[in-house]
Amino acid sequence: MEATRCVLVVDDDQGVRETFAYVLALEGYSVRIAATAEEALRYVGQERPDAILLDLKMPLINGAGFMFRLRADPANQDIAVAVITAAPVLDDATIDDLRTLRAEVWHKPLSIEEIQQIARALMTGGHAPTIPARPRSLE
């Protein structure tokens, strides 16, 4: 029997953490949550997740800072990460940093199906389709 795959949800918004955790648990994932990058880094050091859904804008250490620290450890090079942000547009330097750090970028809000699709893609080693760093059309 295959072990349950673990997703770490890192977001400073409690409602987002709880919603993502609920949606991912419905898909059968073991879900851990962290409210800060520091808390998430401690968790990764203790119990390595299979994938991480990471907020970009957080106090103290933001998502990009977390990614630099995560990837600094060779043991964490292959953890799949999706950065999820409410920012409608990202600057070129941030986009370049996140690409270099091998993070997929998605923009909030996300539907239940999108959250599940992102997790499935990260778990299979594939890449979830990256949403461009511009607002989605509201068609």
Return averaged pLDDT per consecutive 10 residues of the chain, 139 residues in all.
82 96 96 97 95 94 94 93 89 86 89 92 68 39
pLDDT score at 76: 93
Q: What are residue 137's phi and psi, to 5 degrees? A: -75, 150
CA 71 to chain centre: 14
pLDDT score at 95: 84
pLDDT score at 2: 53
pLDDT score at 80: 94
C-beta separation of 90 from 133 below 8 A: yes
What is the domain class of 6-123 according to CATH? alpha beta
pLDDT score at 87: 85
Q: Which pTM does this prediction carry? A: 0.86
Where exactly are the structural domains of the chain?
6-123
CB atoms within 10 A of CB 127: 13
pLDDT score at 91: 86
